[in-house]
Amino acid sequence: MRKLIAGNWKMNGNLAANEALLTAVRAGLAAEPAADVAVCVPAPYLAQVQGLCAGTPIAWGAQDVSAHEAGAYTGEVSAAMLRDFGCRFVIVGHSERRQYHGETDEVVARKAQRALACGITPIVCVGESEAQREQGDTEQVVKRQLAAVIHAVGHCVSEIVVAYEPVWAIGTGRTATPEQAQAVHAVLRAQLRAATPNERRVRILYGGSMNAGNAAALLAQPDIDGGLIGGASLKADDFLRIIAAAS
């Protein structure tokens, strides 16, 4: 299985900085990189990124999608709209959406459904808080979050990407050890195996402060199929080093 390195720019970027970053990433990539590469960008920059990445090995995607198909939902962006911009991926259920916008497991599952219905691959984020880990609830939490999506999308579950993002390691500079990350990835792999005979098609990414320094050790784990990269994806050299580690 080819690994996937996907950048999550979060609420960062501007026209000039985006062009400089992607120009540098393009220049540093092999014509046919050994890993799949994507960037998930703020919605206002989708047209720009589509233009900059078209014809390159870099896929692009969005950071969120509406759970609704269309209608009176001011400020939301539908999956069909993302499809118009050639999006291949969209992040759903990121912990920042769950925490700051009150997204439930059921809302995340509906968003995954909408993405799949439009031919877009949802990157489904799951992860536990520090308190939940300390209480020994990590496995229960991530399995509950993933189960909602499995139930909603049915036989299409083999078309999703899963990202394990321990909440306590997102944007904090802390990261799970390779052994801690692998243990949770193995749990998720077993859950997917029980849900679909095509579970090996599902890539499980690690997303808790993966950076150029720790990427190789994390990506060497048997059930870690890539990374969902936050801050390091905004620095071309760091992002390229992570891609190289995935190769």
- The catalytically annotated residue of 68, 94, 101, 139 is 94
Q: How far apart are CA 38 and CA 131, in angstroms?
A: 32
Answer for the pair 124, 159: CB distance below 8 angstroms, yes or no.
no
Q: Identify whether 165 is a catalytic site residue.
A: yes
Binding-site residues for substrate? 8-10, 171, 209, 230-231
Sign of the torsion formed by the C-alpha atoms of 181, 182, 187 and 189: positive
Q: Identify whether 76 is a catalytic site residue.
A: no
How does DSSP classify residue 62?
A: E
- The catalytically annotated residue of 32, 165, 179, 199 is 165
Nearest 5 degrees, angle CA 80-CA 89-CA 179?
Answer: 150
Binding-site residues? 8-10, 171, 209, 230-231
Distance of CA 169 to the CA centre of its chain: 15
For residue 96, give the H/E element and its range.
Answer: helix 95-101
Could you list the beta-strand ranges (E) of the chain.
4-8, 36-41, 58-62, 89-92, 121-126, 161-164, 204-206, 226-229
Answer for the pair 128, 99: CB distance below 8 angstroms, yes or no.
no
Answer for the pair 208, 181: CB distance below 8 angstroms, yes or no.
yes
Of 78, 26, 75, 77, nearest in space to 49 by CA: 26
Catalytic residues: 94, 165
